[in-house]
Amino acid sequence: MISTTVGDALQPHAARLRGVELTQLLQQDPQRSQDWAMRSGPLYFNFARQCLDRQALDALLQLASQRELTQAFRRLFDGEQVNVTEGRAALHTALRGNHSHAALAREAFNTASAVRQQMGALVAGLEQSGITDIVSVGIGGSDLGPRLVADALRDPAGNRLRVHFLSNVDGAAAQRVLAPLDPQRTAAVLISKTFSTQETLLNGRILHDWLGGSERLYAVSANPERAAAAFDIAPQRVLPMWDWVGGRYSLWSAVGFPIALAIGFERFEALLAGASDFDAHVINTPLADNIAVRHALTAVWNRNALGHAAHGVMTYDQRLALLPAYLQQLVMESLGKSVQVDGLPVNVDTVPVWWGGAGTDVQHSFFQALHQGTTVVPLDFVGTVRNDDPYAENHLALMSNLLAQSEALANGQRSDDPHRSYPGSRPSTMILLDALTPQSLGGLIAMYEHSVYAQSVIWGINAFDQFGVELGKQLASGLLPALRGQVQADDAVTRTLLAELQARA
Ligand code: F6P
């Protein structure tokens, strides 16, 4: 079994380092704060405050070599069927650059580039149409990426198309999104890889009726015929995607249409270029100097050697406030698996719970638990060196808090009063973007994608399927007739709950 040796490889080092404080690791190696820093283009990473030493890192790198991680990245970029349970490639890298000589990957790159030009023409058309607002309808991977990037990079002066996002099946969400909008000046983009997702079909119907027909409806799907037919959308307004793009890896495809509408087509292309630059780093850099690999190995160390069951991502740039929500899907839908690629159980823990929020707000809520609680949560701090707002004093304050939090968690502070004592040795990685630009954000997201893939290779699991979400969907569709009183539910507790719902409706 592929994962059995993760524990074997790491346990001796975990035992050796038990009781060793992070401050000791930093004192023993005065160069560590610089040596454990890495850079790729506009992205800087500092891993010095992770609770492992050089020997443990070497063991992790050896594990990565044993797992043939370099070759695994090659397979990903070449378009091999890394999504083995569904017999598919995962060619998100081909959506943003040409990093492979393999025929499949080159073909994917060419196809994606052609569709991007088609999308550019639609963006230009909409920009000149008198339309002021766009409603993007989609959920999960067809929503979170565009929502994050559009929010992070939108024009603060509001001089572009205003893009609104509608995902939840709760009708209150549709009501809230539509209430302030004028149907005459609004268009909608329905995004669904499968075009069979309940939420998107229902919300798409609401938009269709609210707009008074399909004249201002657009769609993005890997099933363009179904999309065109379901809402009577003209084929030239339906953009394709493909089964070789996973939903949560799809913002670089036509799924990014709302991004291009929100920030402009050129900046969308710059986002792709930033991701492609990071792809080049990943595919061309040996394991020991590879940032995504280091990030992944750190995650494996925290999970499997130190047993940490949670991971936090704290953004010190308000424009990245949606990053934790985006990463929750990317990481937990990809790595939330208990069986290996070969179907056998994994013998190590896989994904921890990912969560997070935006500093400094979070410092005044749950950071108390991070500093003094009994559960240690390793963190990624993500900050931006140069701000774009006119409030320089605020930016200095933001940066001082970013630095202070990482330092306080790592070093702690002893006090005779146990209530006022900070244990320290709480690990974090510092991630700094030179500035928040399409390029740096593209690179950052690509880094997380590649880290996720590297973790999946170490754990021997498939990062590209998500069968875990299916059972709930099946049960929900079976319960619709029960809610309408047409059939009885099978489950006794569900029957009681249905009776309560029906009695109080
Ligand atoms: O429910 C999970 C999921 O399949 C995600 O993986 C996907 O991103 C989302 O639903 C939306 O799917 P679709 O794009 O097919 O509507």
Coil vs helix vs strand at 135: strand
- DSSP annotation string for 407-439: HHHHH-B--SSGGG-B-----EEEEEEEE--HH
* 473 is annotated as an active-site residue: yes
Give me the domains of the chain, ranges plus CATH numbers. Answer: 4-16+36-87+274-464 (3.40.50.10490), 92-269 (3.40.50.10490), 468-504 (1.10.1390)
Best mutation site among 137, 169, 466, 474 for ligand 1 pocket (most ligand atoms within 8 Å of CB):
466
Ligand 1 pocket, residues with Cβ under 6 angstroms: 139-142, 192-194, 197, 200, 247-248, 333, 466, 469
Q: What tokens were used for 231?
A: 């809402």
Q: How many residues would you count in the chain?
A: 505
SS (H, E, C) 301-341: HHHHHCCCCEEEEEEECHHHCCHHHHHHHHHHHHHCCCECC
CA of 325 to the centre of ligand 1 (A): 15
CA of 132 to the centre of ligand 1 (A): 28
pTM over 0.80: yes
User: How far lies 93's CA from each of 77, 109, 319, in Å?
Assistant: 6, 9, 25
Q: Identify the DSSP state of 88.
A: B
Question: Quick one: which atom of ligand 1 is closest to the CA of 250?
Answer: 8
Best mutation site among 88, 137, 142 for ligand 1 pocket (most ligand atoms within 8 Å of CB):
142
The ipTM (two decimal places) reads 0.98
Instruction: Report which protein residue has its CA nearest ligand 1's atom 16.
Output: 192
Best mutation site among 167, 197, 241 for ligand 1 pocket (most ligand atoms within 8 Å of CB):
197
Handedness of CA 419, 424, 427, 432 (dihedral sign): positive
Coil vs helix vs strand at 59: helix
Quick one: which of 39, 17, 95, 31 has its CA closest to 385?
39
Which residue's structure tokens are 């990071």? 278
**Residue type at position 455:** Q
Handedness of CA 305, 308, 311, 316 (dihedral sign): negative
CA of 22 to the centre of ligand 1 (A): 41
Contact 401, 333 (CB under 8 A): no
CA of 247 to the centre of ligand 1 (A): 6
Query: What is the pLDDT at residue 504?
Result: 94
Query: What is the pLDDT at residue 1?
Result: 41
Judge residue 38's burial from the number of C-beta atoms within 10 Å of its C-beta, 0-12 exposed, 13-18 middle, 19 or more buried.
Answer: middle
CA of 79 to the centre of ligand 1 (A): 21
Q: Omega into 93 within 30° of 0, i.e. cis?
A: no
Q: Identify the DSSP state of 289.
A: G
Q: Who contacts 501 (Cβ-Cβ below 8 Å, separation ≥6)?
A: 483
Element (H, E) at 182: none
CA of 142 to the centre of ligand 1 (A): 7
CA of 490 to the centre of ligand 1 (A): 27
Question: Quick one: which atom of ligand 1 is closest to the CA of 470?
Answer: 1
Contact 4, 460 (CB under 8 A): no
Query: What is the pLDDT at residue 295?
Result: 98
Paired sense of beta strands 37-40 and 353-358, if any: unpaired
User: How far lies 44's CA from each of 49, 100, 365, 440, 443, in Å?
Assistant: 14, 26, 28, 10, 11
Coil vs helix vs strand at 218: strand
* Catalytic site residue from 68, 407, 473, 500: 473
Q: What tokens were used for 56?
A: 């443990």
Q: What tokens were used for 256?
A: 């990014």
Q: Is 154 left (phi over 0), alpha (psi -120 to 50) or beta?
A: beta
Instruction: Report which protein residue has its CA nearest ligand 1's atom 3.
Output: 140
CB under 8 Å, gap of 24 or more: what pairs does 384-387 form? Answer: 384/316, 384/317, 384/319, 384/320, 384/432, 384/433, 384/434, 384/435, 384/436, 385/432, 385/433, 385/434, 385/435, 386/434, 386/435, 387/317
Query: What is the pLDDT at residue 3?
Result: 43
Best mutation site among 165, 169, 255, 469 for ligand 1 pocket (most ligand atoms within 8 Å of CB):
469
- DSSP annotation string for 244-274: TS-GGG-TTTGGGHHHHHHH-HHHHHHHHHH
Question: From first to last of its 505 residues, what are the pLDDT tens digits of the chain?
Answer: 444 489 899 999 999 999 999 999 999 999 999 999 999 999 999 999 999 999 999 999 999 999 999 999 999 999 999 999 999 999 999 999 999 999 999 999 999 999 999 999 999 999 999 999 999 999 999 999 999 999 999 998 888 999 999 999 999 999 999 999 999 999 999 999 999 999 999 999 999 999 999 999 999 999 999 999 999 999 999 999 999 999 999 999 999 999 999 999 999 999 999 999 999 999 999 999 999 999 999 999 999 999 999 999 999 999 999 999 999 999 999 999 999 999 999 999 999 999 999 999 999 999 999 999 999 999 999 999 999 999 999 999 999 999 999 999 999 999 999 999 999 999 999 999 999 999 999 999 999 999 999 999 999 999 999 999 999 999 999 999 999 999 999 999 999 999 999 999 9
Quick one: which of 329, 313, 331, 289 has its CA closest to 64?
289
* Catalytic site residue from 333, 337, 395, 449: 333
Q: Identify the DSSP state of 276.
A: H
Q: Who contacts 125 (Cβ-Cβ below 8 Å, separation ≥6)?
A: none
- DSSP annotation string for 432-478: EEEE--HHHHHHHHHHHHHHHHHHHHHHT--TT--GGGHHHHHHHHH
* 193 is annotated as an active-site residue: no
Establish how many alpha carbons lie within 13 A of residue 273's alpha carbon, considering only the half-sphere containing its beta carbon: 11
Paired sense of beta strands 379-386 and 133-137, if any: unpaired
CA of 320 to the centre of ligand 1 (A): 23
